[in-house]
């Protein structure tokens, strides 16, 4: 199992530090990224989190999926590998 997570339905005020802080309750966060519009710089409402281990990623999915972050209920799942 991989340790990269896809996080969707992020509030527009959520930044990478907020994302990292929220997921750190489930283990080591190696990286966090909120995807932004290249023209406006505004969040596109989704991002990625890389956890330290697959077990921590599984814990994050179980604990944080369908929980509130930034005023919205987020969805957390394994990220698809880039092609």
Interval 39-62: pLDDT, tens: 999 999 999 999 999 999 999 999
Structure tokens at 33: 């990224």
Concatenated DSSP letters of 20-40: HHHHGGGS-EEEEEEEE-TTT
The pLDDT confidence band at residue 83, using thresholds 50, 70 and 90, is low
Domains of the chain: 4-78 (3.30.70.330)
Q: How many CA atoms lie within 13 A of 48 on its CB side?
A: 13
Contact partners, residue 62, CB within 8 Å, separation at least 6: none
pLDDT at 82: 62
pTM equals 0.91
């Amino acid at each position: 199992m991989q340790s990269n997570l896809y996080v969707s339905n992020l509030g527009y005020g959520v930044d990478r530090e907020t994302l990292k802080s929220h997921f750190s309750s489930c283990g080591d966060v190696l990286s966090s990224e909120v995807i932004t519009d290249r023209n406006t710089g505004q969040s596109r409402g989704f991002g990625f989190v890389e956890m330290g281990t697959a077990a921590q990623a599984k814990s994050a999915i179980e604990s944080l999926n369908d929980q509130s972050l930034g005023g919205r209920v987020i969805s957390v799942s394994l990220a698809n590998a880039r092609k």
